[in-house]
Structure 1
Amino acid sequence: MSKISVIIPAYNAGRFLPECLDSVIAQSFSDFDVVVCDDGSSDDTAEIVGDYSKRDSRISYVHLDHVGAGAARNSGMERVSGEYLYFLDADDMIAPNALEVLYSAAQSHAADVVVARSHYLNDITEEESPIDFTMIDVACDVALTGDSLPSKPFQTFVGWPWDKLFRAEFVDQHGLTYQNLRSSNDAFFVYMALCRASCIVCVDKDLFTHRTNNAGSLERTRSKSWNNAIAAMKAIRDEFSKDQKLGRYWDSFVNWVSHFSYWNMSTLGEGSLTSEVVNAFDEFLSSIDCVGVSFSNIEDAAFIELSHCDRLDSISSYIQLRKRNEDLFNHLYSEKRELMAEIERQKKSLKEMSDRLSSIECSRSYKLARYISGMFGIFKRVRHE
């Protein structure tokens, strides 16, 4: 049995798989196995994994009939026996010490879940940028247990699995599985794990590279499966109704429901925010008990209140207005960030010039030149006298 099982769902990911698998093979931690769950790809995914498995016996391959990423991950879990589970997207990469750091943290603190930092890689521009919203207001490199567990897991963390390590026994104990959805299939698994964990450790190290702006990724085509977000929220809501122990996180969940609903509707493709979409989200939001809930964001509080209005078009109007304001803010913030970056570049350039000048002034040749120049000055004064 391996210490860590790496599960990689892949669908037509041949362009990215070599870089992804190379990052896994290069790990400083060697006691792991990998299963690539090919979700009915029509590209060269099978051939690529086959070549890698010939070179490294820790890598295995399973073919599936396009069941979706959630079902593919479930299939992977059924085929591995690692002490810990790590779910990696086929177009992402991990740092050379990622598994070592995650395993060490999990073992040191007997953690059910370990979370670490990450950054984006723009697939078009190849620019990297930090992801600064994945561990909010939480202590790092210590065991979070009991009252020290985050009281707002839905705001503290993000509901994706690739920046987290899960203890397999803990997952089995709570019967955690991914939903069989085209998109948003990971929210239930991840958030239920975070809500049920007895111990969470947050590692203050950037260990994951998450590719964004990939035209083939599901996050770019959510308009085809917008109702999956509602299915994910319903599943989590139903779990809350079954287990009173989860009640401590109800405020956090309602806050997330409001924001997640708004985000899903506001980021659909052009012309996709139809009355059918608005009506479906409105119906779900109306079923959420938000009486006495403390909202951390005034916009989210206002948005969920709209679900109790009679006019559905007010929701669409609100979404469009709020989205325009956010786009304007992001544009201004981007311009400010670019200006500050340019200022920092100029400061760095001036410092380099200053350091170069200081280096020249301290050099023997410069001192000799100054001495010779001084001597010529003395000769010149003597001649004039």
Structure 2
Amino acid sequence: MNEKVSVIIPVYKVEKYIRRCIESILVQTYQNLEIILVNDGSPDNCPMICDEYARIDKRIKVIHKANGGLSDARNAGLKVFTGDYVYFFDSDDYIASNLIEIALNTAISSSSDLVIFNYYRVDENDNLLSTSNFNSGTYEIADHNRVDYIINKLAKYTLGWEAWNRLYKADIIRKNDLYFWDNKVIFAEDFGFSLNYALHANKITCISDALYYYLIRENSIMSQAAKEPRLSAAIELSKLMEDKINTSFINTILHKEYPILFYSIMYEQLRGVTKENYEKSITSIDDKEYFYKNLRRVIGRPLLLYKYYGLVRASVVFMICILLKTRSFNKLNIRILESYKKRWKISEVFEINKSKMSSKKRIFLIGSEDFNDIKGHHIAISEKEYLKNTFPEYSIIEITASEYKAFRHILSFIIKRRDLVCISSGGNLAKVNSLTDYIRRHVIKRYKKNRKVMFPQTIHYKSTKDGTLQEYQKDQDFINKSKKLILCVRDQSSYKLAKQYFKCKIVMMPDPILYSNYNNRFNFEREEAMLLLHSDMEGALSWQDKEFIENILRKYTKKIRFNDTILNSDISVFDREEVVDSFMQKIAKAQFVVTDHLHGMLFCAITQTPCIILPIYNEKIEEVYEWISKSNFIKIISDISELAERLEELSKIEKVEYDNTDILKGFDVLT
């Protein structure tokens, strides 16, 4: 292969990340590259760093320009590139060393106009957040199926639409004068470019390889859910697409079936319309005339909806468009809109559990983690593993916390009296106004006559100024009125309190995470230290303490990894096992872990990783530690001054000893 690949990298305020980005492109196994760094008026040291690399490698060209935004920076690169293929790369991300080679080889061998690959979402601690899972295959596109490709592959995100997980053929960009539309005006400039390119590409190949590392920065736009849907920006994108089709594709299927393209472009933003923002979202639309005109066009083509969406989804889209067209903000319209959105959520859950729903013996695991807490996701994995092994004749149906909140009322028609209901371990019985607390009480009240198990909890009700116990009376009322309930607790103090407060059956059981065992699963050379500390409200260490700990650790290793079990983006249950496994590998690679996490301690136990638990005055840790106290590689210190001495002891351990035989016996209480 002699083809030149032009790599266009817009650069703006990424001083912390730019070197890793550039280094990952310089070490590509395919070397015939033109690397265009576009400094978009970055006010930090990025311009200097770009020039520094240009002096080192002759393949690098640097463009310095006034700030104009992401689209403008990419377009500056498109004006000067000379390659046979084009690859766009964001400057706070990094790529696999063989990305260009694999993508280019695929493009040439398959004669594809576009090659798409998967990507990893990672946080600033290199924790895996998710992996895309696009439909691999080769897609032949012609006039008769181009609309279908745009609607059911591109807009539906089954192949993604980002600029940076695609290798483009340069001739298509040049011949059709393709460029990025202004990201300050439209919704999702990457989506816009992918739509534009899809109008001209005739063969597209998607491969299963994940080759790109997409960084989700803390507090970044992408790490948080959008507060309001950007309907006006989506409308502007729709108008640009319609202008392009009216100019270059008049009297084609694209032109005749544009109404369905309009809805597919608007779809992502319409999904964000809720009962809370409904009125504000609709009234904020700049070009209402265009919006309502196209809604009428969609409503007027029901057979077109059926052709591309099928009967069920077409009827939902049809009804949504009618409701939006009425311009009425009455409560009935909003409730109907919400009910249709909930129906999609319910259908997803039922699709996943389709084969299990018809089973005569069912266990419903309710309230499991589907947010951003690694420990909660690991608990769910361990609970499901335990239930599957302990009750093999039962089908396990998981209903996560957000799913239960969304359609708890419908579940009461699905869960039968013969079903076993398990409430996922929430950590502690006493959290005030938490979702976990709400779900626990709602399940206990709604399913009074079902056999129920509340997985291990810690109980520590706190006294108020008048001497009463917060939340105690509420839990006592719910629990004592419920029949057939087994309450599992994970420490002796909680057991005594539970016996004192509640009339149900009380049993001692280890934390669910201890059901898992990674013995012989990982075989890494331990070469770094990990500082696994709370960054949320539970953290109790000062920056001076952290600096003290860091200085001591550097006596044993040069590399220190900082981490937390709370990630900066929610984790899908579909990605859960891969994300948790990646996190556990990082712990297993550590020579030492110093933590103030209870579950950090448990993670170290099941991966046989030497660990020191810091004194944070948390009553949960010492009592849960009793389950693993025979392990010679886990130490609790009462004062930070003991750290150096305990580290020295751990460094001299020749063989890590972890026998979970007695721990597993603790899980027999339900059998």
TM-score range, shorter chain: 0.7 to 0.9
Give the secondary structure class of the aligned counterpart of 1:204.
strand
Answer yes or no: is the 8 Å Cα contact 2:229–2:269 preserved in 1: no
Deviations 1:261-298 (A, max 9, x none): 314556x9x99945542575685254242113233536
Q: How many Å separate the matches in 2 of 1:43 and 1:123?
A: 20
Name 1:164's counterpart in structure 2. Answer: 166
Question: Counterpart amino acid of 1:257?
Answer: I
Distance 1:319 1:31, change over 3 A: farther
Q: How many Å separate the matches in 2 of 1:317 and 1:10?
A: 45
Indicate the structure with greater helix content: 1
Distance 1:309 1:271, change over 3 A: closer
How many pairs were matched up? 347
Moved more, 279-288 or 72-81: 279-288
The TM-score, its normalising length taken from structure 1, stands at: 0.75
Distance 1:106 1:217, change over 3 A: same
Q: How many Å separate the matches in 1 of 2:272 and 2:91?
A: 24
Q: CA deviation at 1:72?
A: 1.1
> How do residues 71-220 of structure 1 correspond to structure 2 at under 5 angstroms?
71-123=72-124, 126-132=127-133, 135-136=134-135, 139-140=136-137, 142=138, 144-146=140-142, 151=149, 152-153=152-153, 154-155=155-156, 156-182=158-184, 184-216=188-220
Query: Is there any run of 5+ residues in structure 2 with no aligned partner, and where?
Result: 350-366, 386-512, 522-671
Q: How many Å separate the matches in 1 of 2:288 and 2:208?
A: 36
Question: 2:381 aligned with 1:341, yes or no?
Answer: yes
Between the two proteins, what is the percent identity of the paired residues?
18
Question: Counterpart amino acid of 1:201?
Answer: T
Q: How many Å separate the matches in 1 of 2:239 and 2:83?
A: 31
Question: 2:414 aligned with 1:246, yes or no?
Answer: no
Moved more, 208-217 or 193-202: 208-217
Q: How many Å separate the matches in 2 of 1:248 and 1:347?
A: 59
Question: 2:267 aligned with 1:227, yes or no?
Answer: no
Query: Is there any run of 5+ residues in structure 1 with no aligned partner, and where?
Result: 354-385
Name 1:37's counterpart in structure 2. Answer: 38
Moved more, 290-299 or 89-98: 290-299
Distance 1:105 1:227, change over 3 A: same
Name 1:6's counterpart in structure 2. Answer: 7
Q: How many Å separate the matches in 1 of 2:316 and 2:126?
A: 33
Name 1:28's counterpart in structure 2. Answer: 29
Answer yes or no: is the 8 Å Cα contact 1:279–1:312 preserved in 2: no
Deviations 1:71-96 (A, max 9, x none): 11111011111100111111222111
Question: Counterpart amino acid of 1:170?
Answer: I
Question: 2:269 aligned with 1:261, yes or no?
Answer: yes
Distance 1:304 1:148, change over 3 A: closer
Question: Counterpart amino acid of 1:144?
Answer: E
Q: CA deviation at 1:125?
A: 7.7
The TM-score, its normalising length taken from structure 2, stands at: 0.45
Distance 1:14 1:261, change over 3 A: same
Answer yes or no: is the 8 Å Cα contact 1:84–1:168 preserved in 2: yes
Answer yes or no: is the 8 Å Cα contact 1:7–1:34 preserved in 2: yes
Distance 1:34 1:195, change over 3 A: same
Give the secondary structure class of the aligned counterpart of 2:517.
helix
Answer yes or no: is the 8 Å Cα contact 2:8–2:77 preserved in 1: yes
Distance 1:125 1:206, change over 3 A: closer
Q: CA deviation at 1:196?
A: 2.1
Name 2:615's counterpart in structure 1. Answer: none
Answer yes or no: is the 8 Å Cα contact 1:29–1:100 preserved in 2: yes
Q: CA deviation at 1:217?
A: 5.2
Distance 1:48 1:175, change over 3 A: same
Q: How many Å separate the matches in 2 of 1:5 and 1:280?
A: 38
Name 1:302's counterpart in structure 2. Answer: 319
Q: CA deviation at 1:222?
A: 8.4
Distance 1:50 1:119, change over 3 A: same
Answer yes or no: is the 8 Å Cα contact 1:34–1:59 preserved in 2: yes
Q: CA deviation at 1:310?
A: 3.2
Answer yes or no: is the 8 Å Cα contact 2:279–2:329 preserved in 1: no
Distance 1:66 1:323, change over 3 A: farther
Answer yes or no: is the 8 Å Cα contact 1:124–1:214 preserved in 2: no
Q: CA deviation at 1:165?
A: 0.8
Question: Counterpart amino acid of 1:212?
Answer: I
Q: How many Å separate the matches in 1 of 2:74 and 2:227?
A: 19
Distance 1:16 1:276, change over 3 A: farther
Distance 1:38 1:264, change over 3 A: farther
Answer yes or no: is the 8 Å Cα contact 1:178–1:189 preserved in 2: yes
Distance 1:239 1:104, change over 3 A: same
Question: Counterpart amino acid of 2:216?
Answer: T
Answer yes or no: is the 8 Å Cα contact 2:40–2:68 preserved in 1: yes
Give the secondary structure class of the aligned counterpart of 1:129.
strand
> How do residues 319-358 of structure 1 correspond to structure 2 at under 5 angstroms?
334=370, 338-342=378-382, 343=384, 349=517
Name 1:287's counterpart in structure 2. Answer: 294
Moved more, 12-21 or 243-252: 243-252
Answer yes or no: is the 8 Å Cα contact 1:278–1:312 preserved in 2: no
Distance 1:241 1:95, change over 3 A: same
Give the secondary structure class of the aligned counterpart of 1:287.
helix
Answer yes or no: is the 8 Å Cα contact 1:258–1:304 preserved in 2: no
Larger relative CO (CA 8 A, sep 6+): 1 or 2?
1
Q: CA deviation at 1:38?
A: 1.6
Answer yes or no: is the 8 Å Cα contact 1:9–1:88 preserved in 2: yes
Q: How many Å separate the matches in 1 of 2:241 and 2:57?
A: 39
Answer yes or no: is the 8 Å Cα contact 2:25–2:97 preserved in 1: yes
